[in-house]
Chain A
Amino acid sequence: AQKITQTQPGMFVQEKEAVTLDCTYDTSDPSYGLFWYKQPSSGEMIFLIYQGSYDQQNATEGRYSLNFQKARKSANLVISASQLGDSAMYFCAMSYTGNQFYFGTGTSLTVIP
Chain B
Amino acid sequence: DVKVTQSSRYLVKRTGEKVFLECVQDMDHENMFWYRQDPGLGLRLIYFSYDVKMKEKGDIPEGYSVSREKKERFSLILESASTNQTSMYLCASSLGRRSTEAFFGQGTRLTVV
B101's partner among A43, A47, A96, A103 (CB-CB below 8 A) is A47
CB-based contact A97/B107 at 8 Å: no
CB-based contact A105/B42 at 8 Å: yes
Q: Is A95 interfacial (CB 8 A cutoff)?
A: yes
Q: How far is the CB of B11 from chain A (nearest CB, A)?
A: 14
Smallest Cβ-Cβ distance to B40: which chain A residue: A105
Q: Which residues of A contact B107 (CB under 8 A)?
A: 43-45
Q: How far is the CB of A31 from chain B (nearest CB, A)?
A: 7
> Which has the most chain B C-beta neighbours within 10 Å: A37, A96, A98, A104?
A98
Q: How far is the CB of A105 from chain B (nearest CB, A)?
A: 4
**Residues of A within 8 Å of B, CB-based: how many?**
28
Contacts A43-B106, A43-B107, A50-B101 hold; do A99 and B48 have CB atoms under 8 A apart? Answer: yes
CB-based contact B98/A33 at 8 Å: yes
CB-based contact A100/B48 at 8 Å: yes
Q: Which residues of A contact B43 (CB under 8 A)?
A: 91, 103
Binary interface encoding of chain B residues 81-111 relative to chain A, with 1 for a CB under 8 A from any of its CBs, else 0: 0000000101010111111111111110100
A residues 1-34 in Cβ contact with B at 8 Å:
4, 6, 9, 31-33
Smallest Cβ-Cβ distance to A44: which chain B residue: B106
Alpha-carbon distance A30/B3, docked complex (angstroms) = 31
- Apart from A42-B106, A98-B102, A104-B42, what are 7 other A-B pairs with CB-CB below 8 Å? A31-B98, A33-B99, A44-B106, A52-B98, A96-B98, A103-B42, A106-B42
